[in-house]
Amino acid sequence: MKQLLNFIPLVIFFIFLTMYDVFVGVQALMIAATVCFLIVLIIYRKIDKVELISYLMVMVFGGFTLYTREPNVIKWKVTIINFLFASGLLISQYGFKKNLLQKLLGKEIQLDSVIWNRLNILWIAFFMTCGLFSLGATYYTTDEFFWIFKVFILPGASLLLSLISGIYIYKNMDKDTDNK
């Protein structure tokens, strides 16, 4: 349910972007993101850090896009979020010797630390790749392609990697773990 609520503002943005322009789309995105944020808060009585950061970035980059009337500003949000996620996973693992994926999912899923580290590296590479593609799409493709990329291709790629990660986790759950 949460994932659907988080996807709705993107769809609304895309509809208004297609019908009007990027600035009307950004206004619709900001309104829809606020409504969905409040719905999540009311239903779950809690907002995850990732959801809060994402919401704040929509508000900051959306507001700055509307203020400056520069459409590329809202595009930077995608790039920055991907690089932030990659950096967070990378710094936590190699700087602080803590695996954020394991910290987030380790209570429900018991895996060997080698498996957690492989998953972490996979997601770091994924977020870095998405950030680089997003940066390239911002400056070297048409606006139409960028928005299709942002609204459909990136979420599809995230879903695909989540499924691949789930299969990898499932295949490795039966092995002895050093997390017990």
Alpha helices in the chain (DSSP H): 2-19, 22-44, 49-68, 72-94, 100-105, 113-140, 143-148, 154-172
Q: Is the pLDDT of residue 179 over 50?
A: no
Tell me the per-residue pLDDT of 127-178, one tens digit each, with 9 for 90 and over: 999 999 999 999 999 988 998 898 889 989 999 999 999 899 888 885 544 4
- Output the pLDDT for position 67: 96
- Output the pLDDT for position 174: 59
Tell me the per-residue pLDDT of 79-120, one tens digit each, with 9 for 90 and over: 998 999 999 999 998 988 888 888 877 677 888 888 899 999
The answer to whether the predicted template modeling score (pTM) of the entire model surpasses 0.75 is yes
The span from the CA of 165 to the CA of 89, in Å, is: 16
